[in-house]
Amino acid sequence: MSQNQSKFHGLLFLFFFILGSIASVWVVLRNGWWLPELASDRETIDKIFVTIFIIAGILFVLSELALSYFIFKYAGDARRKAFYLPGTTKKEILWSILPGVLVVMILEISAEFLGGASIWGKIHGEPPKDAFLVEITGEQFAWSIRYPGPDGKFGKVDPKLISYDNPLGIDMSDEASKDDIVFPAGEGVLYLPLNHPVVLLIRSKDVIHSPFIPNFRVKQDAVPGMVTRTWFVPKKEGEYELACAELCGLGHYRMKSLVVVKPMEEVQEWLSQQTPAGDIYW
């Protein structure tokens, strides 16, 4: 390859990089591809997302420009003899440490200055005592939803009790089970109170699922054999979508439920109209 040809490749690379960047930005802006409207108290997650997005974007542009410059500057030259470049431990240590320092810096900025550490502590810490409780159980390919009823306690469940009439395996000999409000897979709505902490208890009947409510910035794996938990405060009245964020099988795409956020009185009113488990199961 001649030197001119090689230099031309450097310019071509630069041209397609600029063209590709403009085209991607245009497509994203034109289609409004951005995070859906925030409807919970998790604004910290957006702040961290945007900051990392900007830092990664700048680094991406700088490294692509450098790459194109090097292709141009060190274009092939027929008169130049190829030479052997031995590895140097010093340089290898340097270019391992530099990105390491950068990653730690980004981590530190997110954790300390943008509130990442405190929101992590909050999400994984104890939720407020008066929080609104809901349990969601994933199965291929729908969500079951259970509310604890007026006693505020969920009845015991046992996988051995799972049957056609009792899809969650609720132990009806447990007093706490009788007033539970249960929606079998795919039939429930996640009714949540506005401006009130909500605790989601998450289970799975088969494989790993992951309840994901994009508007709330809430995502937590559902792991068979254990109960996982997350909590947040819905901040905007409206209807949202609960999806599954873990590829769990062929029907994964249709694993969604409706989430409705209403003032607490309306949620209580709606709950009082539902049939308790004691009247359905035996």
Minimum distance from CB of 259 to Cu ion (Å)? 16
| Nearest-angstrom CA–CA distance, 39 and 238 | 9
Closer by beta carbon to Cu ion, 212 or else 231: 212
Closer by beta carbon to Cu ion, 75 or else 243: 243
Stretch that binds Cu ion, among 55-63, 99-107, 192-200, 240-248 (CB under 5 A): 240-248
What string marks each residue from 242 to 261 as x (binds Cu ion by CB under 5 A) or -? Answer: --x---x------x------
Minimum distance from CB of 246 to Cu ion (Å)? 5
Size of the residue set binding Cu ion (CB under 5 A): 4
Cα 158 to Cα 183, 225, 244, distances in angstroms: 17, 11, 24
Minimum distance from CB of 138 to Cu ion (Å)? 5
Stretch that binds Cu ion, among 161-169, 186-194, 237-245, 273-281 (CB under 5 A): 237-245
Q: What is the DSSP string of 141-176?
A: TEEEEEE-TTTT-PPPB-GGG--SS-TT-B-TTSGG
Minimum distance from CB of 255 to Cu ion (Å)? 4
Closer by beta carbon to Cu ion, 153 or else 256: 256
Minimum distance from CB of 245 to Cu ion (Å)? 8
Q: What is the DSSP string of the chain?
A: --HHHHHHHHHHHHHHHHHHHHHHHHHHHHHT-SPPPP-BS-HHHHHHHHHHHHHHHHHHHHHHHHHHHHHHHT---TTSPP------HHHHHHHHHHHHHHHHHHHHIIIIISSHHHHHHHHHSPPPTTPEEEEEEEETTEEEEEE-TTTT-PPPB-GGG--SS-TT-B-TTSGGGTT-EEE-TT--EEEEETTS-EEEEEEESSS-B-EEEGGGTEE--B-TTS-EEEEE-B-S-EEEEEEE-S--STTGGG--EEEEEE-HHHHHHHHHTSPPGGGT--
Minimum distance from CB of 214 to Cu ion (Å)? 15
Closer by beta carbon to Cu ion, 68 or else 230: 230
What string marks each residue from 172 to 201 as x (binds Cu ion by CB under 5 A) or -? Answer: ------------------------------
Q: Which two tokens stand for residue 14?
A: 């630069």
Closer by beta carbon to Cu ion, 200 or else 248: 248
What string marks each residue from 137 to 166 as x (binds Cu ion by CB under 5 A) or -? Answer: ------------------------------
Of residues 200-229, which lie at the interface with Cu ion (CB under 5 A)?
209
Minimum distance from CB of 232 to Cu ion (Å)? 20
Checking phi first, is residue 169 left (phi over 0); if not, alpha (psi -120 to 50) or beta? left
Closer by beta carbon to Cu ion, 48 or else 201: 201
Closer by beta carbon to Cu ion, 138 or else 149: 138
Closer by beta carbon to Cu ion, 124 or else 254: 254
Minimum distance from CB of 42 to Cu ion (Å)? 22
Q: Which residues bind Cu ion (CB under 5 A)?
A: 209, 244, 248, 255
